[in-house]
Amino acid sequence: MNIARFVPPHRVLMGPGPSDVSPRVLQALGQPTIGHLDPYFIGMMDEIKTLLQYAFQTQNPFTIAISAPGSAGMEACFVNLIEPGETVIVCRNGVFGDRMRENVERCGGLCIMVDDEWGAPVSPEKLEQALKENPQASIVAFVHAETSTGVLSDAKTLAELAQKYNCLSIVDAVTSLGGVPLLVDEWGLDAVYSGSQKCLSCVPGLSPVTFSSRALEKMQNRTSKVQSWFLDQSLILGYWTGETQRSYHHTAPVNSLYALHESLLLLKDEGIERVWQRHRDMHLLLKNKLEAIGIKFLVDASCRLPQLNAVAVPEGLHDPDVRKALLKEYNLEIGAGLGILAGKAWRIGLMGYSARKENVLLCASALKEVCSAPFRKTAE
């Protein structure tokens, strides 16, 4: 067996995640490792909390980064807030709404589904009807930015409905945090989770989460034990909070948290409103370039995610061949369609550090080349 040092190729990442990582973040990742209870590291953790509060636009004291990817952040919200027998209304308009359903069922909850078409936002009217018909419901769960379809739902209105009917809200912000306005306090969101590898442009493997005082109260008044030891936030709270002594819970991913700190610092230095506008500007540039070569968007402009662009695979092209050619010839990664969109759509990410003009121009010119007539013939 002859295994040499692994040296990955340089890729331009314009899929649904991970996104390109800034050289500053990669440099931070390579800083010397120190202990996860070292006073210097504890001080940095406190700064991460402050920076995450800025990113989430919240003053929630319990705003942390879970030592696992966004899927663990999702599970943490569900296992801590749902007890067996509780009724939860789940809004589903893509793959990740269905993952919410899976979590409710695995927690022993009763799941009431509110379904909308793939490519359409969650319907507030349907949600309110479900809330009227199920007064026993205690939680409403929905995806703010559906990564599988590129659709943005109206989180503010959905959360207002949850509050109106005395429900907590669990919100998937994996693709929205740092890409579009997400105003946790102003909108009254209760449990929100995200991922480090999307619009924050950090390395994969961390899940920023924030819990409101209402959510914390529900956790503290549970009558049953949280089914996951690792994700039990009452245990993790002692590691992320406290003026002096922190309680040991697990060995935190020290260097990954260095990287998250740096990525959040970049966000703060640029200014969150400017970051949102940059994503919007790059989306409009991409839109103009792709429409000029005949590539059509699948989502209505009124609810289209600027950072995750779902477009139709042009007729006559074989999706895997195109993506393979982009990777081989241009070192460019775009995403395939998921679920019912598999083979029919591409998902082009403009997330965080990837949302740059040079990336947009590369993507448009590369797609124009590989979608040309000569390539079309070989694909057929």
Angle at 160 between CA 156 and CA 161, to 5 degrees: 120
Tell me how far apart the alpha carbons of residues 198 and 202 are, in angstroms, rounded to a whole number: 7
pLDDT at 380: 46
279: which 2 tokens?
């994503």
276: CB partners within 8 A, 6+ apart: 179, 180, 181
Q: Where are the domains of the chain?
A: 12-16+271-379, 23-268
User: SS3 for 177?
Assistant: coil
Is there a contact between 273 and 183 (Cβ–Cβ < 8 Å)? Answer: no
Fold: same for 12-16+271-379 and 23-268: no
Is there a contact between 224 and 212 (Cβ–Cβ < 8 Å)? Answer: no
CATH topology of domain 12-16+271-379: Aspartate Aminotransferase, domain 1 (3.90.1150)
CATH topology of domain 23-268: Aspartate Aminotransferase; domain 2 (3.40.640)
pLDDT at 321: 94
For the entire predicted model, the pTM comes to 0.96
87: CB partners within 8 A, 6+ apart: 109, 110, 112, 134, 136, 137, 138, 139
Where b means 16+ CB within 10 Å and e means fewer, 73-107 reads: bbbbbbbbbbbeebbbbbbbbbbbbbbbbebbeeb
pLDDT at 238: 84
pLDDT at 373: 52
Write the CA distances from 317 to 193, 297, 338, integer angstroms. 37, 16, 17
pLDDT digits (tens), the chain, 380 positions: 899 999 999 999 999 999 999 999 999 999 999 999 999 999 999 999 999 999 999 999 999 999 999 999 999 999 999 999 999 999 999 999 999 999 999 999 999 999 999 999 999 999 999 999 999 999 999 999 999 999 999 999 999 999 999 999 999 999 999 999 999 999 999 999 999 999 999 999 999 999 999 999 999 999 999 999 999 999 998 888 866 578 889 999 999 999 999 999 999 999 999 999 999 999 999 999 999 999 999 999 999 999 999 999 999 999 999 999 999 999 999 999 999 999 999 999 999 999 999 999 999 999 999 988 555 544 44
Q: How many residues does the chain have?
A: 380
User: SS3 for 113?
Assistant: strand
Residue 231: name the closest of 71, 47, 84, 35 by CA.
Answer: 71
